[in-house]
Structure 1
Amino acid sequence: MMSAAMNERLTQVGPGTPGGALLRRYWQPVALLDELDGPRPVRPVRALGEDFVLFRDEAGNLGLIDRGCPHRGVDLAYGRLEDGGLRCPFHGWLFATDGRCLETPAEPEGSTLCHRVRARAYPVQARAGIVFAYLGEGEAPPLPAFDCFVAPDSHTFAFKGLIECNWLQALEVGIDPAHASFLHRFFEDGEADAAYGKQFRGASDGSDLPMTYVLREFPRPRIEVEGTDYGLRVTALRRISDATTHVRVTNLLFPQAFVIPMSAEMTITQWHVPVDDTRCYWVAIFTSFAAPVDRARMRAQRLETYALPDYVARRNRANEYGFDPAEQASRTYTGMGEDINTHDQWAVESQGAIQDRTREHLASTDRAIAANRRLLLRAMAAVEEGRAPLLADAGAAGLTGPATIDGMAPSESWEAHWRAAVARRRAAAPWGAPPLDLPLDAAAARAADPQAAE
């Protein structure tokens, strides 16, 4: 049973909290590049309980600075983009993307005040359609060479959505393989040609069985969890018959992301970024190992569910998530439509703004959730002791992958089979996905794919 103090330690993210200190050791995906489109590329950003302003100057440089002007604290999100920076409308002070004060035009001629004033600025970089920011002290660690960062822009697509609850309970849905058989259950299987861009709507790798069928008819997965150099690998095994087992391999990227298969050719890398203690954004990169991503189609699909400019869910607590009892009786397990993001949002928001974990009773299917909480607590202790937590040092640069799969395998050689399937998919990727360290001895390779071994 978890104590209230431990629950606070795991969920608080503001300055001066153990969780906040930990998350500030990692690059945070604070905005989509799309949010800077238009004639005025300035966006307020709230992350980890603090307020910032993101902007692109006239030369195309990105900057993230504190939202309050260093002069008298007014809101720089209303600033003027001009003369190489962002100018405060109150007294005209001008700030560059690196926080330097370029002008204080109301001061007397010859004043050197601007040389002694800076706005606090934060390192930023744009990767795969997302603006990442480092909000901590000291030197930022490198971003790992994960697939979503290695693939070209043509093979990635980024999107996000607001969730009205604490980041940790939102993340924990993604490392819970058992819930998909219930929360995302469909009573009828859809057409294969309508599955593009939708999770659980297509067929598993190496099978013509729709994932909706597999999840619905085989709801008791055996779950295995192993520690890795990037966090956790989670394997869910559903025995279809004596001869065949469905294998789904997903990953926790410590501390706040997961990588899961969306279809036979596409993966989702998804972060859960705290706005504050009671709200977060999911921010995802979809990566294709085959054809270029149809970005227009993917974006249009998701804009049916989320409203701009703040990416707020159209189905939410205010309208009961679109709940329809007739639909629940005949079409979907939740009665909340076919978008699984809506299902997940209801599940995590209904726990409360911050889940009271002192009242929960974890089960055997929650082993990944328990393992991740232990990782978080150890990492917080490491930061407090002045040590680098997992993935927050130079070694992160050498990490690749990670491996995901959603497919059928021979029951007697499922582990060898999924590793070989991952290797084949990566070798066939048109953008040169780097091989992973998933060793197979010769006998295991032949068992997994006899023809390939000949």
Structure 2
Amino acid sequence: MISQEMNDRLTRTGPDRACGQLLRRYWQPAALSDELMGERPVCRSMVLGQKLVLFRDEEGRLGALERHCAHRGADLSFGRREDGGLRCPFHGWLFDVSGRCLETPAEPDDRMCTKIRQRSYPVLERSGIIFVYLGDGEPPHLPDLDCFVAPDTHVFAFKGHIDCNWLQALEVGLDPAHASFLHRFFDDADTADSYGKQFRAASAGSDMPMTRVLREFPRPDIGVDATEFGLRITALRRIDERFTHVRVTNMLFPQAFVIPLSQEMTITQWHVPIDDYSCYWYAIFTGFREKLDKTLMREQRLELYQLPDYRPKVGRFNDYGFDPYEQAHQTYTGMGADINVHDQWAVESQGAIQDRTQEHPGRTDRAINAHRRLLLSAMVANEQGERPFMVLDRAEAAAIRGPHTVDGIGPSEGWQKFARTVDSERVRGAPWFDESDRAP
């Protein structure tokens, strides 16, 4: 249980708030590359409460601008992409990707445009996601994670809207215990039909489906270790005297996690504040063997999410699809087979901003508590003018690889070696893996 003051400090992300100032020191996902495709590659975005317009100019260069025109505040997301930039339809003012004003065509003084600047932000594109940097000074370097090292053929990006504060949305991914209840299925589906689906495949080293593991072994022994990138979270579910299920996931500071999807795929997922009351999750799925079937994975997710805003098709407005018969006979929640719906209900039902003054954390919440401590420590460092944790230079970013994840059943004695071997064999089996480029 924490104070209201501390809860506000952890959750509020405006530019005048400690958490908002901290998060502005990191690259933030702002859109999918897919949203800047087609005849008009222009889209609106809101990150940390700031309204942006993202676009590609005719030469393919990316820009991220303050959305309201510097002239009289019209919405540039309705702008015309032409003549080397984005032109405001109100009076024709034209801005390039750097925010430089190229033309003010209705003004008699042709030199006026040289005095005008639209606020712009650094932008980069990696593995299907457009990132923006909203802080001051030089942006940090992104670490050389597997999801950024793998080629386009082996990564797939998607996102989804969640109607609550970013922190509670993130914290569900730092909680290994909830999966045995929230994502419990009373029957096991065919693991051959598990492609692209969380908790449906068989665990490495076994033909036991993950659904059975979660259902029959609901009390994991959870370990949390500090790492160079955040936290490593280990959940051990003892099957019998000889074998233990090992699941290793990671918290990538400040607001992402890296988890296994299957023996051949991982998920790197960020939770990005739109404002203090809603957020998007952005995920990069990374394949380690075959090229990903992006068409299938996109179709799977569009069964639940609708364009153009990637909002879920179920939610509070229809009770998350709740079916009492299903809850009695098929799933623990009665909310269908997609775990994203389960997570959405869990975090949205806590309220727009969870009231942590009323919670009673248990031992299974160790990773959540550790992440909160990291956040608070980084805020203090930032307030004192120090460089916060994971604001990386090039050398530091190059040294952070992986991070390794595991979902497998191995020997109860020596599970650590088993976990390292499962991850090493997966990564080294990837056609894009370069031994000479891997940190020791």
TM, length-normalised to structure 1: 0.95
Is 1:424 aligned with 2:436? no
Partner of residue 315, structure 2: 316
- In structure 1, what is the Cα distance between the partners aligned to 2:433 and 2:406? 18
Partner of residue 247, structure 2: 248
- In structure 2, what is the Cα distance between the partners aligned to 1:50 and 1:378? 25
Q: CA deviation at 1:282?
A: 0.4
1:211-259 per-residue CA deviation (whole Å, 9 max, x = no partner) reads: 0000000000000000001000000000000000000000000000000
Partner of residue 104, structure 1: 104
- In structure 2, what is the Cα distance between the partners aligned to 1:188 and 1:106? 68
Q: Is 2:49–2:273's contact at 8 Å kept on the other side of the alignment?
A: yes
Partner of residue 21, structure 1: 21
Alignment of 1:196-211 (within 5 A): 196-211=195-210
Partner of residue 411, structure 1: 412
- In structure 1, what is the Cα distance between the partners aligned to 2:5 and 2:438? 40
Q: CA deviation at 1:433?
A: 5.6
1:294-350 per-residue CA deviation (whole Å, 9 max, x = no partner) reads: 000000000000000000000111000000000000111000000000000000000
- In structure 2, what is the Cα distance between the partners aligned to 1:88 and 1:33? 23
Alignment of 1:73-222 (within 5 A): 73-109=73-109, 111-222=110-221
Equivalent pairs counted in the alignment come to: 437
Q: Is 1:29–1:132's contact at 8 Å kept on the other side of the alignment?
A: yes
- In structure 1, what is the Cα distance between the partners aligned to 2:355 and 2:399? 38
Of 396-405 and 219-228, deviating more is 396-405
AA aligned opposite 1:89: P
1:10 match: secondary structure: helix
1:265-308 per-residue CA deviation (whole Å, 9 max, x = no partner) reads: 00000000000000000000000111111000000000000000
AA aligned opposite 2:96: A
1:373 match: secondary structure: helix
Q: Is 1:185–1:216's contact at 8 Å kept on the other side of the alignment?
A: yes
Q: Is 2:399–2:439's contact at 8 Å kept on the other side of the alignment?
A: no
- In structure 2, what is the Cα distance between the partners aligned to 1:153 and 1:391? 25
Partner of residue 367, structure 1: 366
2:414 match: secondary structure: helix
Q: Is 1:403–1:436's contact at 8 Å kept on the other side of the alignment?
A: no
- In structure 1, what is the Cα distance between the partners aligned to 2:434 and 2:126? 17
Q: CA deviation at 1:38?
A: 2.2
Q: CA deviation at 1:421?
A: 1.7
Q: CA deviation at 1:398?
A: 2.4
2:372 match: secondary structure: helix
- In structure 2, what is the Cα distance between the partners aligned to 1:397 and 1:422? 19
Of 347-356 and 76-85, deviating more is 76-85
Q: CA deviation at 1:79?
A: 0.8
Partner of residue 296, structure 1: 295
1:135-177 per-residue CA deviation (whole Å, 9 max, x = no partner) reads: 1110000110000000000000000000000000000000100
Q: Is 2:322–2:333's contact at 8 Å kept on the other side of the alignment?
A: yes
Deviating beyond 3 angstroms after TM superposition, the runs of 4 or more aligned structure 1 residues are 433-438
AA aligned opposite 2:356: R
- In structure 2, what is the Cα distance between the partners aligned to 1:132 and 1:397? 18
AA aligned opposite 1:299: R
2:353 match: secondary structure: coil
Q: CA deviation at 1:37?
A: 1.9
Is 1:8 aligned with 2:11? no
1:145 match: secondary structure: coil
Q: CA deviation at 1:131?
A: 0.4
- In structure 2, what is the Cα distance between the partners aligned to 1:92 and 1:10? 42
Partner of residue 47, structure 1: 47
Q: Is 2:223–2:235's contact at 8 Å kept on the other side of the alignment?
A: yes
AA aligned opposite 1:381: V
- In structure 2, what is the Cα distance between the partners aligned to 1:346 and 1:181? 16
- In structure 1, what is the Cα distance between the partners aligned to 2:217 and 2:439? 31
Q: Is 2:52–2:64's contact at 8 Å kept on the other side of the alignment?
A: yes
Q: Is 1:151–1:433's contact at 8 Å kept on the other side of the alignment?
A: no
AA aligned opposite 1:320: D
RMSD of aligned alpha carbons: 1.1
Q: Is 2:244–2:411's contact at 8 Å kept on the other side of the alignment?
A: yes
1:92 match: secondary structure: coil
Q: CA deviation at 1:437?
A: 6.7
Q: CA deviation at 1:39?
A: 1.6
Q: CA deviation at 1:65?
A: 0.3
AA aligned opposite 2:342: H
Q: What is the identity percentage for the equivalent residue pairs of Structure 1 and Structure 2? A: 64
Partner of residue 224, structure 1: 223
Q: CA deviation at 1:90?
A: 1.1
- In structure 2, what is the Cα distance between the partners aligned to 1:227 and 1:52? 35
Q: Is 1:162–1:312's contact at 8 Å kept on the other side of the alignment?
A: yes
Partner of residue 304, structure 2: 305
Of 215-224 and 116-125, deviating more is 116-125
- In structure 2, what is the Cα distance between the partners aligned to 1:156 and 1:321? 29
- In structure 1, what is the Cα distance between the partners aligned to 2:267 and 2:398? 20
- In structure 1, what is the Cα distance between the partners aligned to 2:412 and 2:38? 53
1:262 match: secondary structure: strand
- In structure 2, what is the Cα distance between the partners aligned to 1:41 and 1:241? 55
Q: Is 2:326–2:334's contact at 8 Å kept on the other side of the alignment?
A: yes
Q: Is 1:150–1:433's contact at 8 Å kept on the other side of the alignment?
A: no
Partner of residue 384, structure 2: 385
- In structure 2, what is the Cα distance between the partners aligned to 1:149 and 1:350? 34
- In structure 2, what is the Cα distance between the partners aligned to 1:176 and 1:255? 16
Q: CA deviation at 1:69?
A: 0.5
2:178 match: secondary structure: helix
Q: Is 1:66–1:120's contact at 8 Å kept on the other side of the alignment?
A: yes
AA aligned opposite 1:88: C
Q: Is 2:234–2:248's contact at 8 Å kept on the other side of the alignment?
A: yes
Of 424-433 and 320-329, deviating more is 424-433
Partner of residue 397, structure 1: 398
TM, length-normalised to structure 2: 0.98
Q: Is 1:145–1:400's contact at 8 Å kept on the other side of the alignment?
A: yes
2:102 match: secondary structure: strand
Name structure 2 gaps, 5 residues minimum: none
